[in-house]
Amino acid sequence: MKARIQKLATPALAVEKKKLNQEFESRLQTEIEKTQRAAQRQYELELRAATERARITAKRDFDKQLMSVRRDSENRIKKELTQNMKLKSAQNETKLAKLQSDRERDRRRYEAESARLQGKLDDLSRKLEKQSGEQHGSEAELDLFTNLRQAFPNDRIERITRGVKGADILHEIVEGTKVVGRVVYESKNTTTWQQGFIAQAKKYQTQYETPNVIVVSRVFPAKQKGFCIVKGIPVVATQMAIPLATVVREGVVEIAKLRLSSTYSNEKSLELYEYIVGDKFCTRFREMADCIESLRDFQQKERTWHENVWHTESTIHDRIASRHREVDAHIRTIVRGTTRYESSKLSSHSKPWRELGTGIRRAV
């Protein structure tokens, strides 16, 4: 029975076994595939993790290398920059030193050239001032000489030649046929007063043996003008030179007359000189100078006033002549036969007569 049962069961078992085997293989295949998928996923995860770790490690290593390279580059660049800066600084210092040397050389050359040109300019200025001073002085001297010759035609008046040591003008006073005295003039037409003028004038007193030395100048010491006495030497303005020369001449002539009488003495000459250089004469002569200056100002104002009056009178005369010509022309027109004479024309022609009357009244 057992065998029969086994015999009957064998095909079923085989089928079942086959079925089971198929199921097993199917499940096994499923498990294998499942396991493979799980393994694949795990592998991929591990690979991804390993890759990420490798990437992070590589990045970290790269960053380290990059930082190292960057640091090395920066150090190299800094070193090169430092070297270049030192080199440039040295070059610039060399150039600057050269420029400073060139500038200093140019400055010295400029200063030397400026000094040379300034020296030439000073020389030319001195020559020009000397020429101008000599020219102006010569012109002033000539004017003084001309005025003296006109004021004293009978005296001997001469200009001292340029180059001859002496004063500018020598005035020998002649009374009758004899020379009775001398007056020496030193003309100064400068812009500044110099004390050397007086020292020079005192030398002329000895040179020409006369106390009568007069400095005729356009400039005066401080706080002085017109006329003053400086260390016994009269200093007078050009416009007052002739009045002073007249006073001195009259005194010299009077002293000469006294010489012919028994009352003459040298004290008279000394007294005359002391009077001329004294305060009383200075005061009187300054008053004369002020009066002459005031008179000249008044004459100038009077001349200006007369010129204005003459101009006004000339204008009025011209207007009278013009209106007279108009009247003559109108009369000739009437005489030649014109009979109609409109009142408007008469009125227009009467207007010039009214203007003429107004001008005459203003002039009067």
Q: Are 151 and 242 in contact (CB under 8 A)?
A: yes
Contacts of 219 (CB under 8 A, 6+ apart): 188, 190, 191, 192, 193
Q: What share of the chain has pLDDT > 90, as a percent? A: 9
pLDDT category at 360 given cuts 50, 70, 90 is very low
CA 157 – CA 174 distance, rounded (Å): 10
pLDDT of residue 361: 47
pLDDT band at 17 (very low <50, low <70, confident <90, very high): confident
Beta carbons of 185 and 160 less than 8 angstroms apart: no
Asked if pLDDT for residue 191 goes beyond 70, the answer is yes
Decide if 244 contacts 214 (C-beta within 8 A). Answer: yes
Q: How far apart are CA 279 and CA 286, in angstroms?
A: 10
Three-state DSSP state, 179: strand
**The pLDDT value given to residue 265:** 57
Instruction: For residue 89, give both structure tokens.
Output: 């600084």
Full-model pTM: 0.45
Structure tokens that stand for 106 in this block: 């140019």
Q: Is the pLDDT of residue 178 over 70?
A: yes
Place of tokens 């998928």: 37
Q: What pLDDT score was predicted for residue 8?
A: 57
**Rounded mean pLDDT of 67-76?**
84
The predicted model gives 162-173 an average pLDDT of: 86
CA dist., res. 308 & res. 318, Å (int)? 15
Q: Is 174 helix (H, G, I), strand (E, B) or coil?
A: strand
Tokens standing for 165?
Answer: 């040591």
d(CA 162, CA 184): 16
Are residues 244 and 227 in contact, defined by beta-carbon separation less than 8 angstroms? yes
For residues 338-352, average pLDDT: 49
Instruction: Report pLDDT for 364.
Output: 42
**pLDDT at residue 176 is higher than 80:** yes
Average pLDDT of span 141-148: 87
Question: Of all helices (H) and strands (E), which one includes residue 101?
Answer: helix 2-151
pLDDT in tens, 79-128: 888 888 888 888 888 888 888 888 888 888 888 888 788 777 777 776 66
The rounded radius of gyration (Å) of the Cα atoms in the chain is 65
The backbone region for 110, taken as left when phi is positive above 0, alpha when psi lies in -120 to 50, beta otherwise, is: alpha
Query: Do 185 and 167 form a contact (C-beta atoms < 8 A)?
Result: yes
Q: pLDDT-based confidence at 72, cuts 50/70/90?
A: confident
Could you give the CA distance from residue 183 to residue 234 in angstroms, rounded to a whole number?
12
Element (H, E) at 180: strand 178-188
- pLDDT for residue 77: 84
Task: Say what the pLDDT of residue 40 is.
Answer: 82
- Look at residue 316 in the predicted model and tell me its pLDDT: 86
* More confidently predicted of 195 and 162: 195
Q: Is the pLDDT of residue 169 over 50?
A: yes
d(CA 52, CA 147): 128
Structure-token pair, residue 172? 């020998």
Q: Helix 241-259 and helix 266-276: axis angle, to 10°?
A: 170
Task: Report the b/e string of 119-147 with b at 16+ CB within 10 A.
Answer: eeeeeeeeeeeeeeeeebeeebbeebbeb
CA distance 138 to 132: 9
Tell me: pLDDT of 356 over 50. Answer: no
Integer Cα distance of 198 and 26 in angstroms: 155
Over 60: is that where the pLDDT of 193 sits?
A: yes
Residues contacting 197, CB < 8 A, separation 6+: 186, 188, 215, 217, 235
